[in-house]
Structure 1
Amino acid sequence: MTTQQQPSVAEAIGRMVRDHPDRPALESARGVISYRDLGERIDKFTAQLDVLTAPGEFVGIEAVRTPGSIVAMAGALRAGRPFVFLDPRDSVASNRTKVTSLGVRMVAATPDGSDEPQLVVAREEWRGAEEPSGIPAGLDTAADQGGIGYAIHTSGSTGEPKCVLVRVGPLAPMIRDHVRVLEVGADTRTLQFARLTFDGCITEILWTLTGGGCLVVLDETQLGPGPVLGGTLERYGITHLKTTPFALTATEPTEAMRLRHVINGGGACRQAVVQKWSARAAFHNAYGTTETTVCNFLTGVLDPAECTESVPLGDVVGDCGYEVVPLPAETGDGTTATTGLRGELVITGESVAVGYLTARGLRRFADRDGNRVYRTGDIVELRDGQLHFVERLDRQLKVRGYRIDPGEVEIAACRLPNVVEAVVTAEAHEEQEAGADALVCYYQGTATAREVRAHLEGVLDTYKVPSVIQQIETVPYTRNGKVDRDALRASRTRPAAPAAATPDEQVLALVRRLTGVDDVSLDDNFFDVGGDSASAVILVNKLKELGWMDAGVRDVLRADRLRTLTDELRDRSV
């Protein structure tokens, strides 16, 4: 069947209301709402929309964790009113931008956690000087106005807020594939984990309500990664969970959990996470972009034994197509060569969103022939018929003349059994230096820095092995769930030499500072522990500061051990 002949997500929810009225549909701290009750609440809200808004008009939904917000979303989909979630905790300026650009007049509010949303006039501080029109500026085609399901705002990797208009039609086949793969049914209990302003919430809400399961909606205080989330999963008997790499790393599965399907989403999936959660439930990896219909790829049940190298993105879901556009690979001498199996992932087909709504109008995701196309900016590899995520294009690094995909190094580090997560950055060896002359690997796990280095030297080209390898307790994340690389750089330890240290001790402290290896001894070779050409120059300059004025890079290169270097320099100064 074509997308037009298949039931929409709103119709699928309506079918569950008719066929299974007594099943629990929503559960919160206030109690349980059956599918019959859900249908009645959707009917009431749809009636409000019919009276107070026009077809194609955007409505706001306050992004608070209540059953009322879920009812408002389902009602908007049934009434053909595109929606946008507005989080009262976000800045006034942010919400004003959303309201004014989309022409939002009315907002669904759920005061005091009500289960029944009420349409009210948008807050005065969110409205601009002009009266909202109800129709987004620059959106003037009837086809677009009737086909949009929601707007989602993303800053992506640029930091500049962008408004994506997503079509409603492709939601249905994408959600049906989730219902099938995740075996959603009457005994499904899905935890509504994602913030409502993140499009990840769309899949977990809709696969549950179109599949006849129960969506558990709780306050964020019960969702904190770690023991809090673990307790919630046990207490509410959650069977289906889609969450982030951070939450999966920080939370430990227990025998008291009733989980049947766990899905990694919103970031690269690591091998250790697959290993840990597969012992408790069927584990899946998912991939999608905000500029498409939420999710593009979803794996079947992953076998940890087949995920030792990296974790695949999965099979296509919904009306999605893709291409891998080869990228020129820069080599050390400045020449380029086509990588073949590695390239930028380009999403094609019906799942591609309408485009970005900008102050200058609608910027469509289409090629010159009008075909729906979105270049993701993600580098992937096609191996054995499976796509594997490598890195963001805009995160490629250039260190010492080589272009490096940090994701490739991170994946390689995570192949070591005792490494849970790894993040690679380019930084200066010394804080006072300009530029980035060192590849730095921060890792979480019980392996030592020496073990990580030895492992990487065995699986990577020499120029890709980080100069500095530093163990950390946890990986810091931003509010948007992205790795906080600025916080990592700020946390990098650069031990200073003891005030009354001997020359040998000062040299050891300096080498530890340059490499991140905290147990360096005089019997170590400088380059074996992470020294490179750039750090060798710094080492020589520091040796001169210690009084060895005739020290040179050649001395460092020739010394088989640090002891040999310091003994030779000490002999010269006698």
Structure 2
Amino acid sequence: MSVTDEIARTIQEHPERGAIETVDGVLSYREFGERVEAFVARVEALTAPGEFIGIEATRTSGSVVALVGALRAGRPFVFIDPRDSEASNKTKVTSLGVNRVATSTAPSHPPELVPTPTEWGGGGAGARHLRAPAALAPHRGGIGYAIHTSGSTGQPKCVLVRAEPLARMVQDHVRTLEVNHRSRTLQFARLTFDGCITEILWTLTAGACLVVLGEEALSPGTVLRTTLERFGITHLKTTPFALTATEPTDAMSLEHVLNGGGACRQSVVRKWSSVAAFHNAYGTTETTVCNLLSGALHPDDCTESVPLGAMVGDCGYDILPLPEQAGDGPSGSRATRGELIITGESVAIGYLTERGLDAFVDDDGNRFYRTGDIVEHREGQLFFVERLDRQLKVRGYRLDPGEIESAACRLGGVVEAAVTAESHEDTGDSPVDALVCYYQGTVSPRTLRAHLEDVLDAYKVPSVIHQVETLRYTRNGKVDRDALGASRHSSSHPGGSVTPEERVLDVVRRLTGVDDVSLDDNFFDVGGDSASAVVLVNKLKDLGWMDVGVRDVLRAENLKDLVDQLRDQGV
């Protein structure tokens, strides 16, 4: 049974239940069904079978009606956000042949199907008709929607996803999350992100109520907390950032909370599992939304890292060993580490490119997608490690920053961590010679360093451990590592140091991230290494100690001893 068949069954059996709630009121399943049928009739009259329609990505009941109506009519859809650039939207429209767009003028109004605006590449009210590329013809009738990746490679890609695998994936969510007619789901994900599809469909196939609000009601922190309380939300799927920034309260009605869109940290599990069943989810845009979903997690089962869960939907997986790690996992463990490969019917059709269709199949024609994500399989479970393209090489060692971040988050008091490779020097031509760990939490950099030295190989311990009040995030909810690096350099230029002791302490603090460095500390005990020792020497020469050398740093019992040597040499 398809997802639209499930929704039709719910409409027939429970017509007076609330289907969608907005700030304007509640739309019953009967009213929702009537609007879907009216939209289907309009779509079938104005478009051809298999023709793409656009849906304006506004948070309204009309957008949800249009999504369900498009699936019901067998018309693939693509969400178009008016806030995105005209160039981006024009690419979507012209590449897919979108001649009609569903729009909603108010949160509770039914959708209207209008000609695609000319500024998006459409013909407006004129006679111009866009044609879909020939590459779509073999898949006409099978495509559910197109979604564009966030463009981590610099150029967003258009993914064509089939409609049929949605049913099993949604059913698995309904069962695991215990969705029923009393459930209330907050529609949190942006409509241009495929996470919105699970929120919408697990709710409407189970006869639950979907709460659709404007983004002003979804800001992580006190705003989101108030929304969860006020609207009696029982089911929430959101990002690591939102879960970190928002505090649960006794006034909430939450029953199930899901982490999605990024690595889940132990602190998040501890916090939210105290008020609801907490789940971790994993999926990639190039498949049918979600591939892995955990059962309810307990903090005691997530001390090392947080498992990704069991497969959902019609898919399987393989792990492709990394060249340098074929065989045993890291440090001789019984783990298998490698790139995650998704197989099965849930794998999308492929990328639509200017050259045609780049299908997701292997040499034998089987559905096959290389995710680019490094995972580890141990003790019967999968764990996320890092993006393959985020592996770092520092001082000759290839590192997975996600492994170090996860290790940092094992320490109680660490909420989140982000590891980058940077230069000790704030100049454009400086070599990348420092592994830097930014973290949000209550423990000191010294405590975190001692913990990492206990649980990681020495070459994986960051040179700089820098505590921040909050991590910075991008519009997509990802940690903004570039902004973190810029903030560290911009705040690392002290002024007013007059004594030799203060000058040395200033430099060492900048090189290690340890703000309470004292003269009794040994440079290497607080994070100094061979690379930062060279930088230290260069900085000291800039301050006037022209005869200082690396040997002076190596021989100094502590920083006081080093200062005494410098004082003997003169300033």
Name the TM tier (shorter chain): over 0.9
2:6 is matched with 12
| 1:274 paired residue among 269, 273, 287 | 269
2:468 equivalent to 1:457: no
Corresponding residue for residue 521 of structure 2: 524
* TM-fit CA distance, 1:278: 0.5
- Superposed displacement of residue 340, structure 1: 6.2
Offset of residue 328 of structure 1: 2.3
Provide the rounded CA distance (Å) in 1 between the counterparts of 2:522 and 2:497. Answer: 25
**1:501–1:179 CA distance, 2 compared to 1 (3 A):** same
**What does residue 492 of structure 2 align with?**
495
CA distance in 1 between counterparts of 2:276 and 2:228 reads 13
Deviation at 1:559, TM superposition (A): 1.7
Q: Which of 489, 495, 503 lines up with 1:506 in the alignment? A: 503
Deviation at residue 57 of structure 1 after TM alignment: 0.5
Aligned to 1:42: 36
Using the size of structure 2 for normalisation, the TM-score is: 0.96
Deviations 1:422-474 (A, max 9, x none): 00000000102522110011100111111111111111111111111111111
Give 2:432's aligned amino acid: A
8 A Cα contact 1:170 1:293, kept in partner: yes
The answer as to whether partners of 1:328 and 1:339 remain within 8 angstroms in 2 is no
Q: Give 2:68's match in structure 1, choosing from 61, 74, 86.
A: 74
Equivalence for 2:175? 180
Provide closer, same or farther for how the CA distance between residues 246 and 173 of structure 1 changes in structure 2, counting only shifts above 3 A: same
Post-superposition Cα deviations, 1:302-343, rounded to whole Å, max 9, x if no partner, equal 011111110000000010110011102379xxxx99996110
Q: Which moved more, 1:499-508 or 1:463-472?
A: 499-508
In structure 2, distance between residues paired with 1:104 and 1:540: 62
Match of 1:325 in 2: 320
- How far residue 114 of structure 1 moved from its aligned partner, in angstroms, is 4.4
Normalised TM-score (structure 1): 0.95
The one-letter code of the counterpart of 1:469 is I
Alpha-carbon distance in 1 for matches of 2:238, 2:570: 61
Q: Which residues of 2 match residues 168-567 of structure 1 at below 5 A?
A: 168-329=163-324, 341-432=336-427, 433-493=429-489, 494-567=491-564
Letter matched to residue 455 of structure 2: V
Partners of 1:40 and 1:367 lie apart in 2 by: 44
> Which stretches in structure 2 are left out of the alignment for 5+ residues?
none
Aligned residues of 2:22 and 2:107 also touching (Cα < 8 A): no
Deviations, residues 249-302 of structure 1 (Å, cap 9, x unaligned)? 000000000000000000000000000000110000000000000000000000
SS in 1 for 2:20: strand
Change (3 A) 1:215 1:136: farther
RMSD between aligned residues: 1.8
Distance of 2:15 and 2:494 partners within structure 1? 72
Task: Give the superposition deviation at 1:567.
Answer: 1.7
Deviation at 1:133, TM superposition (A): 3.4
Aligned partners of 1:284 and 1:300 also within 8 Å: yes
Is 1:112 aligned to residue 106 of structure 2?
yes
Determine what percentage of the aligned residue pairs are the same residue: 70
Q: 1:139 aligns with which of 136, 140, 160?
A: 136
The whole-number CA distance in structure 1 between the counterparts of 2:377 and 2:38 is 49
Indicate if the aligned counterparts of 1:68 and 1:116 stay in contact, CA closer than 8 A.
yes
Question: Secondary structure of the residue that 1:180 maps to in structure 2?
Answer: helix
Instruction: State the one-letter code of the partner of 2:14.
Output: H
CA displacement 1:537-571 (0-9 Å, x = unmatched):
11112223334333221221122211122223333
- Aligned residue for 2:50, secondary structure, equals coil
Deviation at 1:137, TM superposition (A): 4.5
How many residues are paired up? 562
Instruction: Give the Cα–Cα distance (whole angstroms) in 2 for the partners of residues 349 and 330 of structure 1.
Output: 26
- 3-state DSSP of counterpart to 1:165: strand
